[in-house]
Each structure stands twice: as C-alpha cells, then as structure tokens.
Amino acid sequence: MIIQLEKNISEEQKSNIVNKINEAGYKSNFVSTQYCDYIIGVGNKDFDIRAIGVLPGVKDIHIVLEASKLVSKKWKTQDTVIDLGDDVKIGGGNFQIMAGPCSIESEKQIEITVAHLLKNNIKIMRGGVYKPRSSPYAFRGLGLKGLKIFYKYCKAAGIKIITEVMMPEQIDGMYEYVDIFQVGARNSQNFNLLDALGKQDKPVMLKRGISGTLDELLASAEYIFSNGNEDILLCERGIRTYEKSYRNTFDINSIPVLKDKSHLPVIIDSSHGVGIRKFVEPVALAGVIAGGDAVITEVHETPQKAFSDGAQTLSHDEAEIYYKNVRKTFEFRKTLYRY
C-alpha cells in the first residue's frame, strides 16, 4: 500500500494514519523524497483502503502488492521524466543519446569527444573515472582529478555528464561535477551504495546486475527511491548466459517488460550488451523499437587504442552514422505504437 501525503500534513495527522495502518495489520515505512512524502504499508491482509483514504493529510492511496512498490507502474501510471535542466529530458517520450568513451583517459580525449558530441547534437557524455575492472592490473580510471577536467569541458559546451560511482565515500567529492550517477552492473545490489544514492537529489542510472533478474533490478531501484530519490533510470546492459558467441546476452525482452512494470525510463546499453563493435548498432536499434528511452554507447576517436572496452567501442565516424540511425529509428517507432 502506498499513501501519498499532503505537503502540509501535521505530525498528529501522520501518526493517526500510521496507527490505522498498523491496526489493519500492516507495517509502515515513512519515505520522504525530493518531491513528496509517502507512507508505505507492507502487509497482505485484505482491508478497505477507504478507511485511510478519508483521513486528513492523505492525498492519494493505492494498493500495490508488488514487492517493489514505489517504482511500480501500479502506483504511478505516468512515465517518470528525468529533467537534467537546459531542456535535456529522458523518458515520457523524450529520447536521448548518451555517448563517450568507456574510460576517461586524458584531457585531449575529452576535448575531441566533446567536439564530436557537439557536432552531432548530443547532450550527454558518458565516461568512467572510477572503473570496475575484472583484473586489478587493468586501468582503473583517472579518479576525481579526471572528473574535474571532464566537467570543465562539458560545462563549457553545455553537455551533461554521466559517470560511474563505485562507493558511497566517492559521492560527496563527485556530486558537483555529475549530472547522472551511474551504478555499474557489479554494484547493482550494493545496498549501501544504493542507500547513499537515495539520499542525493541527482538522478541515478542503475544497471542490471550481470546475472540480475528484473525483479532484483526493480528492488534495487526501490532502495534508491525509498531513501528519498525518485530520479532513477534503469539500464539493460546484457546478462551472462551460456552463450559464448558474444560478451553478454542483451535481453531485449527486458525493455517492454520493465516499461510495463515500472514508470521509470529504460536505457539501452548495447555496447556492453553485445560487446562486439559491429553488433552495437543493430542491437541498439532493436532496443529503440522495443521501447527504450535512451541509448548509452561507447565511442572513441581510436577504439583500437582505448584503455578499456575497445572491442565494443564505435569510432567517431561509425558513431555519426549510428546516431542518425538511432534517431531515425526513434522517429519510426513513434509511427508504430502507443508505448
């Protein structure tokens, strides 16, 4: 059960509602986000919600039986729109392309990438400065120093930044320079990190775990929301299966299914999803048709020299064609259906 509270509710009215919920055999959890206050009732007894609906201070009430409630479409039927400012929005019919290298490598690279994004009218740049790597000997990223240079160029160009945060301790230092915090696949169930990001007022893109189910992804998103942050994006980046012909299996099914289960935008990462350069475009286009709200794609001026994930990275020349096809496909999708 989700009870949305009126803005000016008194403490007395609040405890009155909580008492009624407890009497009905439900446990209550208070959630306060950047937009609204809620009480989440957890239980499964049948009872008449009108008894609570009429109480002073209640704006709206819904029964949501799903384990993940606040991120569920049962509760909020309208799509969430992530507004990054300067008219850069994701979700609810607003489509974006996010592109950039796997890792931020140098000032020169940032400069070249920003020029490439500007030329192609792309408003969001990706690039990791804290890199989760399978081997401890691989490049681990330029850290906060790299992020500050990343920010300097993007700020001047009016481009937004999405970059991965790996630990709660990194959040404060990064905050000023980040438009979207990315949670990587390996941290998809790092509940301490999710709790900490839930206390921020900046959007979080949550990637699906390497072997994560959709319900686990939604439960992780619920951690962020229930800690106070409603601005969440879900990202399909492929899962590990028995198939060895490509790096990961991009689960196309997840896109319409997530869009059906949740009001949150769904992001297509076909770079990690397939892991092979020449398939990044067809898989992304399929994701666009399936209902994705944005693509996030690895691009590099010389992918062969990339410090990480070069084999799945598009060159800037390849990317120019790719962006056109992604945009064309999105326009085409609008002619197809009602999602």
Q: Which is nearer to ligand PEP, 14 or 186 (CB)?
A: 186
Q: Which is nearer to ligand PEP, 57 or 101 (CB)?
A: 101
Cβ atoms of 2 and 38 closer than 8 Å: yes
102 binds Mn ion (CB under 5 A): yes
Contacting range for Mn ion; rule: CB under 5 A; set: 17-25, 81-89, 100-108, 141-149:
100-108
Residues that bind ligand PEP (CB under 6 A): 102, 128, 132, 184-186, 207, 237, 272
How many residues belong to the site for Mn ion (CB under 5 A)?
A: 2
**Among candidate residues 100, 99, 97, the one with its CA nearest the CA of residue 88:** 97
User: How much of the chain is in helix, strand and coil states, percent to nearest 5?
Assistant: 40, 20, 40
**207: partner contacted, choices ligand PEP, Mn ion, none (Cβ within 5-8 A by kind):** ligand PEP
CB of 272 to ligand PEP, least distance (A): 4
Show the site string, 282-311: x = touches Mn ion by CB under 5 A, - = not. ---------------------------x--
CB of 271 to ligand PEP, least distance (A): 8
Backbone angles phi, psi at 267, to 5 degrees: -110, 140
Q: Which two tokens mark 286?
A: 């399929």
Cα separation, 42 vs 32, whole angstroms: 17
CB of 149 to ligand PEP, least distance (A): 18
Question: What number of other Cβ atoms are within 10 A of residue 65's Cβ?
Answer: 9
**Among candidate residues 184, 172, 175, 198, the one with its CA nearest the CA of residue 130:** 184
**132: partner contacted, choices Mn ion, ligand PEP, none (Cβ within 5-8 A by kind):** ligand PEP
**263: partner contacted, choices ligand PEP, Mn ion, none (Cβ within 5-8 A by kind):** none
CB of 210 to ligand PEP, least distance (A): 8
> Which residues are 128's β-sheet partners?
103
Q: Which is nearer to Mn ion, 9 or 233 (CB)?
A: 233
CB of 147 to ligand PEP, least distance (A): 15
CB of 207 to ligand PEP, least distance (A): 5
Q: Which two tokens mark 27?
A: 């446990």
Residue 149 CB contacts under 8 Å (≥ 6 apart), including other chains: 104, 107, 110, 142
What's the CA angle centered on 284, arms 278 and 289, to 5 degrees?
A: 140
The binding site for Mn ion (CB under 5 A) comprises 102, 309
